[in-house]
A and B are shown apart, each in its own frame.
Chain A
Amino acid sequence: EVQLVQSGAEVKKPGESLKISCKGSGYTFTNYWIGWVRQMPGKGLEWMGIIYPDDSDTRYSPSFQGQVTISADKSTSTAYLQWGSLKASDTGIYYCARLSFGMVGTYYSYFGMDVWGQGTTVTVSS
């Protein structure tokens, strides 16, 4: 079974650091981009950035550039999202998801985020 399993819920204080994880299984982890998506309480989905685990090529959304670090360890099929200094506004649910691509005719096309982790709830409060 293809799946992404995320680490458990975290409760942190402002200023603390945090690293959450997303472990893939059931497929070749290095062949797919992994994306991170934030959902603040009661709000919609926000694209944070993506990483290609084979070479750790990383692309950030402008809104999250410099605010978080995305990394991956291909030896353990795990992607990570980390903060150096948390703020209360970082409170939310963080999802990882697999990006799928394929050929349509002669074009290399985006097939969507087809596998999602269960989400990691991060609460930042003093």
Chain B
Amino acid sequence: EIVLTQSPGTLSLSPGERATLSCRASQSVSSSSLAWYQQKPGQAPRLLIYGASSRATGIPDRFSGSGSGTDFTLTISRLEPEDFAVYYCQQYGSSRGTFGQGTKLEIK
């Protein structure tokens, strides 16, 4: 089973700053199978990025994804107040998926 490790566990930033979240896989992952989700308290997760770098419908362009192989990154170019949440990476392959443990993005 592929293990995804996200870092940092918590990221403290201010609105307007740039956020860089990392997701590292225990073995190489196809870029086409890597997704990112945002979850706010009391809400279901929301798909942000699929295929490592494609934005889902309705996602603002301040969100971008990159990476390949075992290292993937979610970047939020200029943080808005509504962006403070928990972010998860997820991979899918061989009819199974796994999630990273999450990165909490909090207001500094």
A contacts, CB < 8 Å to B: 35, 37, 44-47, 50, 59, 61-62, 95, 97, 99-100, 104, 107, 109-114, 116-119
Of the candidates B44, B47, B86, the one whose C-beta lies within 8 Å of that of A117 is B44
Take A45-B99, A45-B102, A110-B50 as given contacts and tell me if A104 and B32 are in contact as well, using a CB distance cutoff of 8 Å. yes
Interface size bracket, B side? 20 to 34
CB-CB under 8 A from A119, the residues of chain B are 44
Complex formed: what's the CA distance from A121 to B26 in Å?
31
CB-CB under 8 A from A46, the residues of chain B are 99
Q: Chain B at the A interface: mostly helix, strand, loop or mixed?
A: strand
27 A–B contacts, CB within 8 A, in A order: A37-B45, A44-B86, A44-B99, A44-B102, A45-B37, A45-B99, A47-B96, A47-B97, A47-B99, A50-B95, A50-B97, A61-B97, A100-B50, A104-B51, A109-B33, A110-B33, A110-B92, A111-B54, A112-B35, A112-B37, A112-B47, A112-B49, A113-B45, A113-B90, A116-B44, A116-B46, A118-B44
B20 an interface residue at 8 Å Cβ cutoff? no
CB-CB under 8 A from A113, the residues of chain B are 35, 37, 45, 47, 90
Take A109-B32, A110-B92 as given contacts and tell me if A95 and B45 are in contact as well, using a CB distance cutoff of 8 Å. yes
